[in-house]
Each structure stands twice: as structure tokens, then as C-alpha cells.
Chains A and B, each alone.
Chain A
Amino acid sequence: MIKRNLGQQIYVPAFSIFTFCIFWELLVWANGWPDYKMASPSDIGPAFWKFKSLFIYYGWETFWRTVVGLVFAVIVGIGLGIIMGFSKMLRDALFPILVGFNAIPKATVVPVIALMFVGMHDMNTILIVIFIAFFPITVSISVGLSTLEPEYEDILLSLGANKFQIFYKIALPKTLPEFFGALKVSTTLAFIGTNLMEIIEPHGKGLGHLFDSGKINADYPLMFAVLIALAVMGIFLFYLVLILERIFAGWAERS
């Protein structure tokens, strides 16, 4: 049921990416755009090759900060979600604050954080990732827990089960599909968080920094290459979440 044709799972996305690149190349070629207007895949390849060691070094800097930030965002998101899912009063109290916080453009928060913790680049970046990525997780967990049908609880309560057993046996697994849905959104958001910090308050590390150097040196293919590298990392992390989802919430998938 969960197993699908592996070939199809790999070939179809690979073919669609290939087609996308061909169209891109053709579009640039047909319009005769110079590479500072729109770099084409054939420009980007050499850019990658030329700066390959920098891509690996900075890519890793960006990647680990994003993943660490995401892990913390999951912890904070689940924690707040549990609190708001179980207590209606706290839900009413916290929701407006969280919505307000989430509505603030994170680009404006970056300088504030950078000033607040001068020089602590790793922590600042991770902090921004947490800020940008926790909200979808909080919403999904709190909605999942607060909409649990009372009969599910009755089944266990009538046997004398305690609150923790109900949470662990029923509420938690039941919200997993929602949680993974939110985690997919948060994963893509997390990269935005890392790069906001790296570009707005450059600390000389990460792909954001490489993007900035591309800008300063008018190396447009490099700038495009950074964007592609970010997309590739985003896709990689997204599929990692997808695999985790298959393992822990594969039951929710209907064949």
C-alpha cells in the first residue's frame, strides 16, 4: 500500500526537472537575454564549478543552521501547540499574540536581533529560523488536539486511563498527519529565515554571503547558482521530511 513504483517516484520528478531546464535555456536563448538579465542553466553550471569549494563550505553553513533552527522550531511549535490545544483559556490568550508576532515581516526583525545579540551569528540565524518556522507547527498541533472527538477520550477514560496515556496513545499519533503537513511548510520557510539573516546582516558565512559577493562582483551567474543551490537544499530537506512522514504517519496515506 505504502510502497509505490520506485522508478516512477524517481524518473517522473527527474524528467520534470530536466524539461524545466530545457525550457529555461530555450527561453533565455530565444529572447537573447544577457546573463545579467537572466542567467541560463548553461551559465549556472560553470558558476557552480568555479566556486565549488565555496558552495560546499557555505552550503553546509546555511544547511546546519537551518536544520538546527528547524529542530528548535519544532520543539517550540509542539510545546506551544500542546499548551494551546489542551487549554481553551491559553488558546484565547496566546493566539492574538502569536498571530501578531507572525504578521511582523521577519526581514524587519533581523536588524533588531542582530543588535540585540551582537556578534552571535549562529544564534541570531537560528533564532530567525525559529521565529519564521514555528507558527505553522503550533497551529496544526493546537487544532489537531482541540478537535479530538470526545469519544476517543471516552474509550480510554472509561478504563481509568490518565491524561498522559490519552495524549500518548491517541492525541499525539492522531495529530501526526497535520504535524507533518505543517512541517513541510516550515521546512521551506526555514531557508528563508537563514538567508534573511545572511543577506540583511551579513556575517561572512553561508550561501547568503556568497549571493552578496556575487552581487558586489557583478557575477550574475553566481547569484543564480546560489538560488539554485538553495532550491536544491530545500528540495532535499523537504524529501527528508517526506520520508519521516512515511515512517511515522504512513497510515494516513490512502492508496
Chain B
Amino acid sequence: MYIDIKELSHKYSTADEDLLVLSDLSFSVGKEQFVSIVGPSGCGKSTLTKLIAGLSVPLKGKILISGSPVDSPRESIGMAFQNPVLLEWRTALDNICLPLEIVSPQMTRIQKIARATELLEMVGLKDFSQSRPSQLSGGMKQRVSLCRSLVHRPEILILDEPFGALDAFTREGLWKTLKDLKTSENFTCILITHDLREAIYLSDEIVILTDRPGKVKKSVKINFKRNSNSIDELYSKEATKMLAFLRKQIELSHTRL
């Protein structure tokens, strides 16, 4: 498969104890698939994103991307977090250009702006390209953050609860935007989320993790047919059943309250 995670274990060492956060975690993601990872809080989901991004080295096991092991950060990855972490001193447009300055220094400013503008248009923020982050709403900031994570055409997009801090309606708007981006930009996506409806709406597959130390409890393919990109699809019989099933799985893994 495109991304293979094999028997991954990781721990954090503090002064007085070692905290095992991931234990024997294995799963695979196919190219251009959209996989959501859900699980109780503290089960090592964010740790997993850092390991895939090559920001930390796992204690045991390995991560392969196209067959080659991940041992350091790579340009073919884009990341976005719950906190949009936009640079306050840059306009929305210049924020989006930031990764290009690192990854493609040979690009001219005009090329960078053209690429950033293309993305801004896709997320519906064309008129806000010159706004500073302090002038944007929470949802707009997150849209800019998404654009930034995609501007350098990464092959893999890692999203760590990107919509967690948004209100329900804004969030649904962003789900649609992300789906549109996925269609036009063609990337493999790994989404960490606590929102099961979000996972059902967006993914091809949902990986459920157990409580800490996290390992794969169950992997579920979303194979019922979705006719449109409408949020209404979430209220179909299959989707409702899926939601109830997923919820049960998460509840069962709650041992620590």
C-alpha cells in the first residue's frame, strides 16, 4: 500500500515515568485514499501524526511511504492543526505562500501568488487575500490554514482535528470545502478527529484506536454509496447505522473516565 504503518510503538519519557502512547499499531492507507482516525482522547492520535510527518522517530516499528521508511520530515507532506497557527504579520495570501518559500525557493513571487490565489478561490476567500489573520473569522482562518497545507502540492495531507474549535455550521461548510479540495488536488489524506459524522462524511475508511496505549481496534470501510457531496447524505439509513456502530466501538474502549 501507499502508506504502511507496521507495529508502531512510541512512548514519552518524563522525569518520573515512561508513558507508552502507541503500542503495536498497524494499518495501511492506499494512494489517494481518505482515512480518518478516531479514538478516545489521549490515545496517541496526535503522536501518530507527528511520526508520519517524520517530526519524531518511533520507539519501535516503522512507517513506510511508497516503500521507503520515514526517518525525517519530507516536502511531500502538508499539515494543518486545530490551531490554525497563521503568522499574524503576513496577509492571508502570504501565509499561504510560506511553504513554497521553504520547498520551492526557485519559484518566482508571481508563480507563488498565482498558486496561492488559485487555492484561495477554491475555498471561497478570493476577496480576503490581503486581509491579516486578525481580520478573519475562525472558519476563514482554518480555510487559509488548509490552503497553506496544500500549496506545495503535497502527496499526503495530515489533518489533526482541524475543525475541532469551530461551530457546527462553519464546520459543515469546511467539510464540503475539504471534499472539493480533495477532488481537485488529489492527495492522500489522514484526518484525526473526534467527530464521527465528520469521519463518515469525508472518509473512505475509518480506523478506530483503543484507549492509551493506542492500537487499532477496528478498521471500517465506508462502502455505502454516497450520491452527492450534500451533508444530507449523513442522515441516510446507512450513515445513521454506521454512526451508531462507530459510537459503540468508541464507548467500549473507554476504560478510563
* Segment at the A interface, from B24-32, B94-102, B176-184: B94-102
CB-based contact B102/A165 at 8 Å? yes
CB-based contact B89/A161 at 8 Å? no
Give B63 Cβ to nearest chain A Cβ, in Å. Answer: 14
Q: List 7 A-B contacts (CB under 8 A).
A: A152-B85, A155-B148, A159-B99, A160-B75, A160-B103, A251-B89, A251-B134
Asked if B1 is at the interface of the complex by the 8 Å CB criterion, the answer is no
Of the candidates B79, B89, B132, which one forms a contact with A158 in the assembled complex, judged by CB atoms under 8 Å apart?
B79
Asked if B87 is at the interface of the complex by the 8 Å CB criterion, the answer is yes
Contacts of A254 in B (CB 8 A): 134
Asked if A111 is at the interface of the complex by the 8 Å CB criterion, the answer is no
CB-based contact B77/A155 at 8 Å? no
| Extra 20 A-B pairs, beta carbons < 8 Å, given A159-B75, A169-B87 | A149-B83, A151-B81, A154-B50, A154-B53, A155-B85, A155-B98, A155-B148, A156-B102, A158-B78, A159-B77, A160-B73, A160-B74, A160-B75, A169-B98, A169-B101, A169-B102, A173-B87, A249-B89, A252-B89, A254-B134
Give B71 Cβ to nearest chain A Cβ, in Å. Answer: 12
A151-B85 in contact given A158-B53, A254-B134 (Cβ < 8 Å): yes
**Interface bin, chain B:** 20 to 34
Which chain B residues numbered 48 to 86 have a C-beta less than 8 Å away from chain A? 50, 53-55, 72-75, 77-79, 81, 83, 85
Complex formed: what's the CA distance from A151 to B134 in Å?
Answer: 18
CB-based contact B73/A155 at 8 Å? no
Which chain A residues numbered 140 to 154 have a C-beta less than 8 Å away from chain B? 149, 151-152, 154
Contacts of A160 in B (CB 8 A): 72-75, 102-103
Which chain A residues numbered 234 to 255 have a C-beta less than 8 Å away from chain B? 249, 251-252, 254
Give A129 Cβ to nearest chain B Cβ, in Å. Answer: 30
CB-based contact A158/B85 at 8 Å? no
Residues of B that sit less than 8 Å from A by CB: 50, 53-55, 72-75, 77-79, 81, 83, 85, 87-89, 98-99, 101-103, 132, 134, 148, 152, 158
A155-B79 in contact given A160-B73, A165-B102, A251-B132 (Cβ < 8 Å): yes
Contacts of A249 in B (CB 8 A): 89
Give B96 Cβ to nearest chain A Cβ, in Å. Answer: 12
Contacts of B54 in A (CB 8 A): 158
Complex formed: what's the CA distance from A151 to B83 in Å?
Answer: 8
Give B160 Cβ to nearest chain A Cβ, in Å. Answer: 9
Beta-carbon nearest neighbor of B103 in chain A: A159
Beta-carbon nearest neighbor of A252 in chain B: B88
Complex formed: what's the CA distance from A225 to B98 in Å?
Answer: 53
Asked if A170 is at the interface of the complex by the 8 Å CB criterion, the answer is yes
CB-based contact A154/B55 at 8 Å? yes
Complex formed: what's the CA distance from A169 to B148 in Å?
Answer: 15
CB-based contact B85/A159 at 8 Å? no
A170-B134 in contact given A154-B79, A157-B55, A158-B54 (Cβ < 8 Å): no
